């Protein structure tokens, strides 16, 4: 029996993820409405599509956006396979992360665009030349975006000496087609005053001018840097393409971004979270007052309780820092996590959410139940982290299903 069949058959005994297609549709509309019609909307699918499930998210977003951005060639090739199997027209796909020389050849073959981040790329030329020689007239140049370091100091070319560093591109125009220049903001999400962002935009403008003139390009050279935050709050950053990541999934990149968007837009865009995390109980039992609960005896029942054992823990991505302070939802009621989060289990107080006869519950770990909700931001606050980490750490082994 195939592993996937086993996963589907027994998934009901574990926790699972529900992905809302209507939420994605709404979030795409919000971003479309913030862009002029000639600007392309791209979705970022890195980190297992921000924990939402790569293939499930691809199935939804493929028809909604203009470009798909991934972190590695493996995911890019998954997209090409998905398109072929479903007889779909190919979308533009851009790999943002590093690739090997052999992967560069494969990307050229599969019409996958890449980011060139440093002059070490000159070492890839021999591989591309070999491919060009083998394919002859059928060879298609590798489409590439020159990554400029405008202030993040993570990757990319700095402005100083840029012409010399990209000279290998000028000498190999038949092998690599320069599609655009790109960069990444450093702190648009962390502040409401955006002077540093505008410094970065100025550097990208200069780099765009240098590249276009140095390479003597007769065609339009794309320029892109906009992401979730800047697409909403810095119109100048839109350029040719918006690369929307976490907010495509209905999550705000920060409270500062939320505040800035409310000021800029006068009305806060109503992003809708696409992910709900649920779990069916393994058991429901009574615990008398005075009983210790969980490892380390860190919790002691102060009264008679009814507790549910949920088969989900830090192995699945539920943070251990939620020990004795996290909450889940059962029947629309907030239920506290009692004791330590374990590798594969948590124990929650369902006394107020259930009756004496209850022997099974379904808990919502992230999402809404009735008038109550637990958001990725709530969990991030309890776990002293950010919502990005909360959703991307949800185990890829958990079943994900598209709903509505």
CATH number of 259's domain: 3.20.20.10
Domain count of the fold of the chain: 2
Mean pLDDT of the chain: 95
Answer yes or no: do 327 and 234 share one domain. no
Regarding whether 143 and 210 lie in a shared domain, the answer is yes
Determine the Cα–Cα distance for residues 124 and 214; give it in Å rounded to an integer: 21
What percent of the chain lies above the pLDDT cut of 70?
97
Please report whether residue 279 resides in a domain. yes
Q: Does 401 belong to an annotated binding site?
A: no
Tell me, what DSSP letter sits at residue 393?
A: T
DSSP state of 219: S
What three-state secondary structure class fits 151? coil
Do residue 172 and residue 289 come from a single domain? no
Q: How confident is the model at residue 47 (pLDDT cuts 50, 70, 90)?
A: very high
Residue showing tokens 């479903």: 86
Residues 79 and 70: beta-carbon distance below 8 Å: yes
Claim to verify: residue 62 and residue 152 sit in the same structural domain: yes
Q: What is the DSSP string of 120-140?
A: GGGGGHHHHHHHHHHHGGG--
Q: Per-residue DSSP letters for 147-211? A: EB-SS--SSSB-STTHHHHTHHHHTTTTTEEEEEEE---SSTTT-S--HHHHHHHHHHHHHHHHH
> In this structure, are 210 and 286 located in the same domain?
no
Residue 327 lies in a domain: yes
The pLDDT of residue 1 is 39
346-401 tens-digit pLDDT = 999 999 999 999 999 999 999 999 999 999 999 999 999 999 999 999 999 999 99
How far is Cα 369 from Cα 193, in angstroms, rounded to an integer?
Answer: 37
Residues 283 and 245 in one domain: no
In this structure, are 176 and 305 located in the same domain? no
Residues 280 and 300 placed together within one structural domain of the fold: yes
In this predicted structure, which of 115-129, 145-159, 321-335 has the lowest mean pLDDT? 115-129
Residue 205 lies in a domain: yes
Domain that holds residue 333: 275-402
Please indicate, yes or no, if residue 128 is contained in any of the structural domains.
yes
CATH number where 349 lies:
2.40.37.10
Catalytic residues: 46, 295
Domain boundary among 265, 299, 319: 265
Ligand-binding annotation for 343, yes or no, is: yes
Domain check: are 252 and 126 in the same one? yes
| Average pLDDT of the segment spanning 232-249 | 98
pLDDT bracket for residue 8 (50, 70, 90): low
355 part of a folded domain:
yes
């Amino acid at each position: 029996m195939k592993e996937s069949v086993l996963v589907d058959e027994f998934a009901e005994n574990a926790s699972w993820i529900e992905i809302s297609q209507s939420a994605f549709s709404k979030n795409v509309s919000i971003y479309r409405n913030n862009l002029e019609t000639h600007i392309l909307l791209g979705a970022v699918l890195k980190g297992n599509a921000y924990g939402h499930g790569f293939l499930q998210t691809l199935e939804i977003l493929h028809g909604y956006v203009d470009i798909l951005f991934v972190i590695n060639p493996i995911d890019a090739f998954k997209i090409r396979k998905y398109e072929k199997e479903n007889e779909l027209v190919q979308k533009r796909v851009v790999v943002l992360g590093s690739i090997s020389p052999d992967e560069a050849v494969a990307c050229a073959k599969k019409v996958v665009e890449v980011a060139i981040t440093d002059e070490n790329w000159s070492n890839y030329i021999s591989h591309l030349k070999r491919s060009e020689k083998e394919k002859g007239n059928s060879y298609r140049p590798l489409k590439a975006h020159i990554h400029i370091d405008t202030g993040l100091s993570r990757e990319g070319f700095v402005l100083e000496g840029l012409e010399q560093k990209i000279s290998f591109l000028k000498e190999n125009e038949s092998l690599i087609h320069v599609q655009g220049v790109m960069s990444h903001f450093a702190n648009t999400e962390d502040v409401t005053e955006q002077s540093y962002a505008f410094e970065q935009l100025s550097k990208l403008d200069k780099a765009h001018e240098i590249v276009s003139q140095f390479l003597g390009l007769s065609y339009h050279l794309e320029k892109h840097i906009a992401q979730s935050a800047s697409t909403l709050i810095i119109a100048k950053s839109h350029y040719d393409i918006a690369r929307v990541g976490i907010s495509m999934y209905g999550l705000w990149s920060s409270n500062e971004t939320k505040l800035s968007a409310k000021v800029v837009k006068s009305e806060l865009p109503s992003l809708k979270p696409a992910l709900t995390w649920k779990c069916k109980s393994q058991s429901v039992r009574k615990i008398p007052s005075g009983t210790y609960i969980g490892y380390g005896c860190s919790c002691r029942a102060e009264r008679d309780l009814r507790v549910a054992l949920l088969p989900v823990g830090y192995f699945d991505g539920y943070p251990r820092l939620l020990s004795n302070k996290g909450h889940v939802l059962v029947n629309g009621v907030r239920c506290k996590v009692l004791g330590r989060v374990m590798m594969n289990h948590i124990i929650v107080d369902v006394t107020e959410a259930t009756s004496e006869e209850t022997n099974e519950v379904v808990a919502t770990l992230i999402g809404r139940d009735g008038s109550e909700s637990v958001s990725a931001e709530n969990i991030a606050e309890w776990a002293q982290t950010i919502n990005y980490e909360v959703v991307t750490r949800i185990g890829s082994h958990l079943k994900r299903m598209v709903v509505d």
